[in-house]
Amino acid sequence: MSSRESGNQQLLKIQRIDDLLQRNLWDVDHRPHIVVDTSRCTDCEYKPCVLLCPAGCYTLVDSKLLFSYEGCLECGTCRTVCPREAITWNYPVSGRGVLYRFS
């Protein structure tokens, strides 16, 4: 169970992206809705996805790009900024993914 205690002591400092995403309601599909061909990323200079994905789905580990679709907010930014067209982008099926209630 990923429920958390209400209260905001821990909110007095900058939240990690995972903790921010935990605020939302999710029904994540076991099938990824976005596929990244990371072989195209090695010679990508800016890797704009890393800073601009608002869900932090793109991270660098030992300067290699690592992608995880689970926290995706379905905004389309990565697809737009990727200079290598390395991203096969779509929305999740069956109503899965993020479930907004207050936005």
| Positions that interact with another protein (CB under 8 A) | 1-8, 11-15, 17, 20-21, 23-27, 30-31, 46, 48, 50-52, 54-56, 62, 73-77, 79-81, 89-103
Rank residues 43 and 103 by Cβ distance to another protein and give the closer one.
103
Q: How far is the CB of 86 from another protein (least distance, A)?
A: 13
Smallest separation, CB 56 to another protein (Å): 6
What distance in Å separates the CA atoms of residue 56 and residue 20, rounded to the nearest whole number? 11
Instruction: Count how many residues are written for the chain.
Output: 103
Q: Which ranges constitute the DSSP H helices of 46-88? A: 48-52, 77-81
Give least dist CB 38 to another protein, A: 19
Cβ distance to another protein smaller for residue 42 or 60: 60
Round to whole Å and give the CA distance between 32 and 89.
Answer: 10
Least Cα distance to 60 among 71, 72, 49, 76 occurs for 49
**Closest to another protein by CB, 56 or 68:** 56
Q: CB 57: neighbour CB atoms within 10 A? A: 22
Q: Which is nearer to another protein, 27 or 37 (CB)?
A: 27
